[in-house]
């Protein structure tokens, strides 16, 4: 296979009557029905000018229309550009200006935010939903490469970066992710991860299509609905720490300490570091091992992953996936065994759209510079210790935020924390933002004392702020670059 839609075609030929997708409204579609919808969507796209090299913008949250349109683009050689409808109007406008789509679809039938972005755009009724459509102009410039998908990276200010992922990138990621999770056609994957993010589209949607497993699409994460889905048969749960924390908090409120009566066989946590106490708590709740992994948009999600047994204290992100190389660059001057994580292989992106300078800075001799700091242990497992840009230097010592966060997360009344540095008097202060399990159960001074028992002096937070919630992307990834502005009143008070 050379293009991602061929996964759908293969499943339609080999297992036409097996379930492929359960939409957010509960309707289930077979592989044969899924393939027919993709064909219908391809004809619709063609009528709006979609052609090889043209971009098709899809403003959506998880729903049937999103994977159908992504695969329809593949049939035509167009590039799918899925973006989360919960982005601000300014963010959507910047991406639209940069991507210059020939047509934009808004999935307002399942998303209020998508409907708001669409404004007065006309509607088109399809078998996969009533969408709003805005027609652009064909791109007069020749665009090099043949990406399957263009994903815009989360969050920093300035010009947006569009990551070009090839069909080869996604097909490799599909197999690697399916193999890591030992997926089969009998599996039922719970799809709360956004398909507008690489984790959802590569490690969930494509991996399931690789083996013919069913994905249940979830528009908005709800811990009560997740619990019910697990009881009702969902058996593969790829998630981020925030989802696990919310599920366990929901269960605790209803008097449930352990997941019972479910056939869950695989659960993973990505996009944030694990700490030992939290991992033990999650495994006690699920009754199976909690797996960890590492990747980013530019690496088509997967770089490494664990296959640990329940109770294994390992909190690494595992060894490199088959076919993936990992190395460390120690030139940043971090601790002796820590360096910037580099990775090479068929998972590395084509580059950044219309940004050759950024591409050249990020991909060098085939090696992707991740910007993450890591170390490799004697067993060959990768440990991520933080972002190079987030490294805090206090009193001349290196402080890695994940280590401080792990210490604070050990507190029984803390659900989630985020730690950053801030310049102060020629040094750096350590600022910790902590979300408690309930209002008033823990104070900032309590947490400072707790940290003092677990961290050496230079690693202890200078300031601790108790907050209701942390700013996060739709994936649950904490947006640390927004902490200072989001909590400006607290920080400056």
**Residue partners of 85: CB distance under 8 A and separation at least 6:** 59, 60, 61, 106, 107, 111, 113, 114, 117
Q: Please tell me the predicted confidence (pLDDT) of residue 157.
A: 43
Mean pLDDT of 243-270: 90
**Long-range CB contacts for residues 451-459, cutoff 8 Å, separation at least 24:** 451/404, 451/407, 451/408, 454/407, 454/410, 455/403, 455/404, 455/407, 458/394, 458/395, 458/397, 458/399, 459/394, 459/397, 459/399, 459/403, 459/404, 459/407, 459/430
Query: Within this chain, do residues 90 and 230 fall inside the same structural domain, yes or no?
Result: no
CA 330 – CA 334 distance, rounded (Å)? 7
Query: Within this chain, do residues 358 and 405 fall inside the same structural domain, yes or no?
Result: no
Domain for residue 227, yes or no? yes
Q: Please tell me the predicted confidence (pLDDT) of residue 395.
A: 73
Q: Please tell me the predicted confidence (pLDDT) of residue 388.
A: 76
CATH number at residue 459: 3.30.300.30
Mean pLDDT of 167-188: 98
Name the one residue in this structure whose structure tokens are 């410039």.
Answer: 141
Domain for residue 229, yes or no? yes
Q: Is pLDDT larger for residue 332 or for residue 38?
A: 38
Query: Within this chain, do residues 303 and 373 fall inside the same structural domain, yes or no?
Result: yes
pLDDT tens column, 125-167: 999 999 999 999 998 876 767 899 999 985 444 567 999 999 9
Query: Within this chain, do residues 404 and 418 fall inside the same structural domain, yes or no?
Result: yes
Query: Within this chain, do residues 29 and 77 fall inside the same structural domain, yes or no?
Result: yes
Residue 345's φ and ψ, nearest 5 degrees, are 150, -175
pLDDT tens column, 383-424: 998 877 788 878 767 787 888 998 898 899 998 999 999 888
Query: Within this chain, do residues 337 and 405 fall inside the same structural domain, yes or no?
Result: no
Mean pLDDT of 240-262: 88
Residue 285: name the closest of 238, 314, 234, 246 by CA.
246
Q: Please tell me the predicted confidence (pLDDT) of residue 155.
A: 42
Q: Please tell me the predicted confidence (pLDDT) of residue 278.
A: 80
Domain for residue 199, yes or no? no
Query: Within this chain, do residues 291 and 232 fall inside the same structural domain, yes or no?
Result: yes
pLDDT tens column, 306-351: 999 999 999 999 999 999 999 999 886 657 789 999 999 999 999 9
CA 455 – CA 458 distance, rounded (Å)? 8
Q: Please tell me the predicted confidence (pLDDT) of residue 334.
A: 56
Mean pLDDT of 352-372: 95
Both tokens assigned to 280: 């033990």
Mean pLDDT of 58-76: 98
Residue 238's φ and ψ, nearest 5 degrees, are -85, 130
Query: Within this chain, do residues 45 and 160 fall inside the same structural domain, yes or no?
Result: yes
Query: Within this chain, do residues 135 and 236 fall inside the same structural domain, yes or no?
Result: no
Give the chain's end-to-end CA distance (angstroms, integer).
Answer: 58
Query: Within this chain, do residues 290 and 366 fall inside the same structural domain, yes or no?
Result: yes
pLDDT tens column, 77-113: 999 999 999 888 988 999 999 999 999 999 999 999 9
Express as a percent the part of the chain with pLDDT over 70: 96
Domain for residue 209, yes or no? no
Query: Within this chain, do residues 118 and 254 fall inside the same structural domain, yes or no?
Result: no
pLDDT tens column, 184-209: 999 999 999 999 999 999 999 999 99
Q: Please tell me the predicted confidence (pLDDT) of residue 284.
A: 95
Q: Is 425 helix (H, G, I), strand (E, B) or coil?
A: coil
Which one of 335, 356, 388 terminates a domain?
388
Binning pLDDT at 50, 70 and 90, where does residue 472 land?
confident
The number of distinct structural domains making up the chain is: 3
Residue 241 has pLDDT above 90, yes or no: no
Q: What mean pLDDT is reported for the chain?
A: 92
Query: Within this chain, do residues 74 and 139 fall inside the same structural domain, yes or no?
Result: yes
Residue 61 has pLDDT above 90, yes or no: yes
Range of the domain at 472: 391-492
Express as a percent the part of the chain with pLDDT over 90: 74
Residue 367 exposed, middle or buried by CB count within 10 Å (0-12, 13-18, 19+): middle
Q: Please tell me the predicted confidence (pLDDT) of residue 401.
A: 87
Binning pLDDT at 50, 70 and 90, where does residue 428 land?
confident
At how many degrees (to 10) do helices 5-14 and 31-47 cross?
140
Binning pLDDT at 50, 70 and 90, where does residue 460 land?
very high
CA 462 – CA 429 distance, rounded (Å)? 6
**Residue partners of 177: CB distance under 8 A and separation at least 6:** 183, 202, 203, 204, 206, 207, 210, 301, 302
pTM listed for this prediction:
0.86
């Amino acid at each position: 296979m050379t293009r991602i839609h061929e996964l759908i075609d293969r499943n339609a030929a080999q297992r036409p009557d097996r379930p492929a997708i359960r939409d957010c409204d509960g309707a289930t579609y077979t592989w044969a029905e899924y393939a027919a919808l993709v064909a219908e969507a391809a004809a619709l796209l063609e009528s709006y000018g979609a052609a090889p090299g043209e971009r098709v913008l899809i403003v959506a949250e998880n729903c049937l229309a999103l994977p159908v349109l992504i695969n329809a683009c593949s049939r035509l050689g167009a590039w799918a550009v899925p973006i989360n409808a919960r982005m601000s109007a300014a963010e959507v406008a910047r991406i639209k200006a940069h991507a210059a789509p020939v047509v934009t679809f808004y999935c307002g039938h399942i998303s209020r935010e998508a409907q708001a972005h669409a404004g007065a755009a006309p509607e088109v009724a399809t078998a996969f939903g009533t969408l709003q459509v805005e027609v652009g102009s064909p791109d007069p410039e020749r665009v090099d490469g043949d990406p399957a998908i263009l994903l815009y990276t989360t969050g920093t200010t300035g010009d947006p970066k569009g990551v070009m992922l090839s069909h080869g990138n996604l097909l490799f990621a599909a197999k690697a992710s399916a193999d890591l999770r030992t997926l089969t056609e009998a599996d039922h994957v719970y799809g709360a991860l956004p398909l507008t993010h690489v984790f959802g589209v590569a490690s969930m949607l494509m991996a399931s299509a690789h083996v013919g497993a069913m994905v249940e699409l979830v528009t908005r994460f709800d811990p009560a609905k997740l619990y019910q889905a697990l009881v009702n048969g969902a058996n593969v749960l790829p998630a981020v720490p925030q989802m696990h924390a919310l599920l366990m908090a929901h269960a605790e409120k209803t008097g449930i300490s352990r997941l019972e009566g479910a056939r869950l066989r695989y659960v993973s946590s990505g996009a944030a570091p694990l700490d030992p106490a939290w991992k033990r708590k999650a495994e006690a709740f699920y009754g199976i091992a909690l797996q960890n992994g590492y990747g980013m948009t530019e690496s088509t999600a997967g770089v490494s992953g664990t296959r640990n047994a329940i109770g294994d204290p390992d909190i690494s992100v595992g060894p490199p996936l088959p076919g993936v190389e990992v190395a460390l660059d120690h030139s940043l001057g971090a601790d002796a065994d820590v360096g910037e994580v580099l990775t090479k292989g068929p998972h590395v992106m084509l580059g950044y759209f219309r940004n050759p300078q950024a591409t050249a800075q990020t991909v060098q001799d085939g090696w992707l510079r991740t910007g993450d700091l890591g170390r490799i242990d004697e067993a060959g497992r990768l440990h991520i210790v933080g972002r190079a840009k987030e490294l805090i230097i206090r009193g001349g010592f290196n402080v890695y935020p994940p280590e401080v966060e792990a210490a604070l997360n050990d507190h029984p009344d803390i659900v989630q924390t985020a730690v950053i540095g801030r310049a102060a008097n020629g040094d750096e202060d350590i600022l910790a933002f902590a979300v408690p399990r309930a209002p008033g159960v823990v104070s900032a001074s309590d947490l400072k004392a707790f940290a003092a028992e677990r961290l050496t002096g230079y690693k202890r937070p200078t300031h601790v702020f108790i907050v209701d919630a942390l700013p996060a992307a739709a994936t649950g990834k904490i947006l640390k670059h927004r902490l200072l502005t989001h909590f400006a009143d607290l920080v400056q008070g």
